[in-house]
Amino acid sequence: MRYLPERPNKTASANKALVSFMNESSSNQRPEVVWHDQSVSREDRERQLAQRGCVVWFTGLSGCGKSTIANAVDRKLSELGAVTTLLDGDNIRHHLCAGPDRLTAEHGPEFAERFGLGFGAIDREENIRRIGAVAELFASTGIITLTAFVSPYARDRQRVRQLIESVGRGGDFVEVFVDTPLETCEQRDPKGLYKKARAGEIQNFTGISDPYEAPPTPEIHLHTADKSPEALADEIVNYLKQNGMLIRT
């Protein structure tokens, strides 16, 4: 097994920078809550895994192919021996970012109203904030973390990028724009949601009654027309290989 090269700029001094970043971002409200440094470093974990932790952030309209392509990448990476995880919109909205309807029975209406997430702009912002925080934890453990969320707002994605790259390194956030035209997504309509949105039965539906802010400069821009999910997944795996995320291949 090959090991990652030493990263002299990311040892003790990087740990100090991380502690100070975390303390700065929380000190305004809760000075008594202080970040605690850990003795096993990210570099130790990455060396053990022979890979570089990062976040591969898929964004695009509902039905554009995020889940399908992310699953194909996950499988291909796994076959190469990489340690990966996949956070997918529909799954995450069952628990971590559940809607009020899922929370009421267990936690009561007040809790459900306060913490349950829907699809308004602020709810999406909180959804992406939570997922960004979880993705950062995975990436810091050296895991190649794939995420598949509509994430329609550029500012929300930018905040996650800022978090991932401040705590980790430049290049740790790989934005993948799954660029499938709205007409194609609407024709596919695997869950019948576009039909409902057109009929006014679903509010704030991305692309129909809610905005989608396409990334102007994603690390990977997938033009999906006439390309199979497998071929598109290969583009991503090649990018990760070329950018040093997979050390053992």
Ligand X SMILES: Nc1ncnc2c1ncn2[C@@H]1O[C@H](COP(=O)(O)OP(=O)(O)O)[C@@H](O)[C@H]1O
Residue 227 binding: pick among ligand X, ligand PPS, none (C-beta 5-8 Å cut-off by kind): ligand X
Tokens (6 digits) for 72: 């194909």
Q: Does 63 bind ligand X (CB under 6 A)?
A: yes
Residue 47 CA to residue 67 CA, distance in Å, equals 29
The only residue of 59, 84, 140, 224 in contact with ligand X, by rule CB under 6 A: 224
Any known ligand binding at 65?
A: yes
Q: Is 62 in the site for ligand X (CB under 6 A)?
A: yes
Q: How far is CA 11 from the centre of its chain?
A: 25
Smallest Cα–Cα separation from 96: which of 115, 71, 68? Answer: 115
SS3 222: strand
Concerning whether 39 is annotated as a catalytic residue, the answer is no
229 binds, among ligand PPS, ligand X, none (CB under 5 to 8 A by kind): ligand X
Q: Find out whether 97 is annotated in a ligand binding site.
A: no
| Residue of closest CB approach to ligand PPS | 89
Residue 116 engages ligand X in binding (rule: CB under 6 A): no
> Nearest CA to 120 among 112, 128, 108?
128
Q: Which stretch binds ligand X (CB under 6 A): 21-29, 37-45, 108-116, 225-233?
A: 225-233
Pick the catalytic residue: 151, 166, 209, 228? Answer: 151
Subset of residues 125 to 154 that bind ligand X, contact rule: CB under 6 A:
148
**φ, ψ for residue 56 (rounded to 5)?**
-105, 105
- Min dist. Cβ of residue 71 to ligand PPS (A): 11
Q: How far is the CB of 130 from ligand PPS (least distance, A)?
A: 10
Q: Does 14 bind ligand X (CB under 6 A)?
A: no
- By CB under 6 A, tell whether 108 contacts ligand X: no
User: Contact, 222 vs 69, CB < 8 A?
Assistant: yes
- With CB cut-offs between 5 and 8 Å by kind, which of ligand X, ligand PPS, none does residue 100 bind? none
Q: Tokens 């992406």 map to which residue?
A: 128
Strand extents, DSSP E, 61-199:
84-88, 144-148, 173-179
Strand 144-148 versus strand 54-59 pairing type? parallel
Residues binding ligand PPS (CB under 6 A): 62-63, 66-67, 89-90, 93, 119, 124, 127-128, 149-152, 191, 193, 202, 204-206
Give CA–CA dist 170/165, Å, rounded. Answer: 5
Q: How many CA atoms lie within 13 A of 56 on its CB side?
A: 32
Cβ-based burial of 34 (10 A; exposed 0-12, middle 13-18, buried ≥19):
exposed
CB of 213 to ligand X, least distance (A): 16
Under the binding rule (CB under 6 A), the answer on residue 229 touching ligand X is yes
Residues at the interface with ligand X (CB under 6 A):
60, 62-68, 148, 188, 190, 224, 227-229, 232
